[in-house]
Chains A and B, each alone.
Chain A
Amino acid sequence: MNPITPPASPWQLKVFPLFTILGWLFISTALIVGLFVLTPTTVDYLSGNAKAVRDAAQFGTPLLAQLTTITAIPRWLEPLAFLGVASFMVGIALEFSSIPAILQNRGEVMKVCFPLLRENGGNNES
């Protein structure tokens, strides 16, 4: 019996898809908010309103509410996109960190296999 054990699935391989999905989720949310909240609000705020009208907007008016939206949202939207990028990078780092264990196991397997491969080898000259 050869002392071969298959490579154990490291915990990192179970966790990295979660971070990849989180990354997609954050960045897709940022894109959707940009497309369907920021853009229409900006169009409404600027269309047909000269600067004098915008500047004269009083408390509680739709114009001021729109201004609040288009100045407040980008302040968390970009950090959210960066959070998405960070999630992707954590996922990639987890994938990388699982490779050493797999290579170590492969080295042990190769050590056991080598004599057998030499023993059976008929076409080493190729």
Chain B
Amino acid sequence: MQKMIGKMAKMYPLMIAMGFMIVIIAFGIGYANSQNAAAYFSIPKLERETTMMVQRAAIESVGLWMPTFKFLGIGLILGGIVMALRIIIDRLKGAGEEVLSNLPAEKRLKLPDPPRYATMMPMVIMLGEMIFIAALGIGIWLSGIARMVFSNPLPVIDAAGSGSALLNGIQTIHAVEGWLVPLKFFGIATEFLAITMGLATIIFILGSQTNMLGRILNPEKN
């Protein structure tokens, strides 16, 4: 399993490139949306709110799925960084084993097992990516609701009464937004935790290998 993860980690440049592409695409769509908004708000209020529903629906829906899409891009880049750290960990372990292989078998010490958080790192990174994908799914779902709501003239939306589909739609959008923003940051926190674990593992390996060399040189201290 760990070997397979190590092989997969070599794909980290692809992951970083994908993440960067997503952020660039998001910038392009964001720019197009800003032009759409500029055109919409250049029209007098009464006219734009009663006749330009398609533009309004597009502006509102893009504003709902776009942030989650950008966070997915950032998440992939952070995931790529974690995978690169995993490669450093594997190479460090390999180098340690190679150095030890130069010693006679009776003097050779066993390399210490990696700490538990090192084995948890791939799970944490996967959890982070799942959070970003779930957030994007929820963002797309919300943008569908926004399209349904804002395809109506604004006076009709404002007049929506209790129990109406329009008011329920607005309620869903605002209620979900309340926790969707922190959820994206939770995804970022999960990726950062994986990076912290990776760095801690590198520091552990460096320290333990140096300690081991010291024990080989000073066997009386073993």
- The secondary-structure label for the interface of chain A is helix
- The complex places the Cα of A123 from the Cα of B189 at a distance, in Å, of 46
B186/A50 in contact, CB under 8 A: no
- The complex places the Cα of A16 from the Cα of B156 at a distance, in Å, of 54
Task: Give the total of A residues in contact with B, Cβ under 8 Å.
Answer: 62
A46/B171 in contact, CB under 8 A: yes
Is A64 close to B, CB under 8 A? no
Is A75 close to B, CB under 8 A? no
B192/A89 in contact, CB under 8 A: yes
Please judge, given known A-B contacts A95-B200, A105-B210, whether A38 and B185 are in contact too, CB under 8 Å: no
Is B107 close to A, CB under 8 A? yes
B175: which of A4, A33, A43, A84 is its contact (CB, 8 Å)? A43
- The secondary-structure label for the interface of chain B is helix
- The complex places the Cα of A111 from the Cα of B92 at a distance, in Å, of 18
A38/B179 in contact, CB under 8 A: yes
Q: Which of B180, B186, B189, B206 has the most CB of A within 10 A?
A: B189
**Interface residue tally on B, bucketed by range:** 35 or more
Is B213 close to A, CB under 8 A? yes
Q: Which residues of A contact B210 (CB under 8 A)?
A: 6-7, 102, 105-106, 109
B199/A50 in contact, CB under 8 A: no
A117/B99 in contact, CB under 8 A: yes
B192/A23 in contact, CB under 8 A: yes
Q: Which of B170, B178, B179, B200 has the most CB of A within 10 A?
A: B178
Q: Which residues of B contact A34 (CB under 8 A)?
A: 178-183
Q: Which residues of B contact A63 (CB under 8 A)?
A: none
Is B174 close to A, CB under 8 A? yes
Find the A residue at minimum CB distance from B161: A50
Q: Which of A2, A23, A46, A92 has the most CB of B within 10 A?
A: A46
What's the least CB distance linking A33 to chain B, in Å?
7
A102/B182 in contact, CB under 8 A: no
- Some 16 contacts from A to B, beta carbons below 8 A apart, are A4-B213, A6-B207, A6-B211, A20-B193, A23-B189, A28-B189, A31-B183, A35-B178, A35-B182, A38-B178, A42-B178, A70-B178, A74-B181, A85-B189, A99-B203, A116-B217
List the interface of chain B (C-beta within 8 A of A).
99, 101-104, 107, 157-163, 167, 170-171, 174-176, 178-183, 185-186, 188-189, 192-193, 195-196, 199-200, 202-203, 206-207, 209-211, 213-214, 216-218
- Since A50-B160, A103-B206, A117-B102 are in contact, a sample of 6 more A-B pairs with Cβ atoms closer than 8 Å, ordered by chain A residue number, is A6-B210, A30-B185, A38-B178, A39-B178, A47-B162, A51-B159
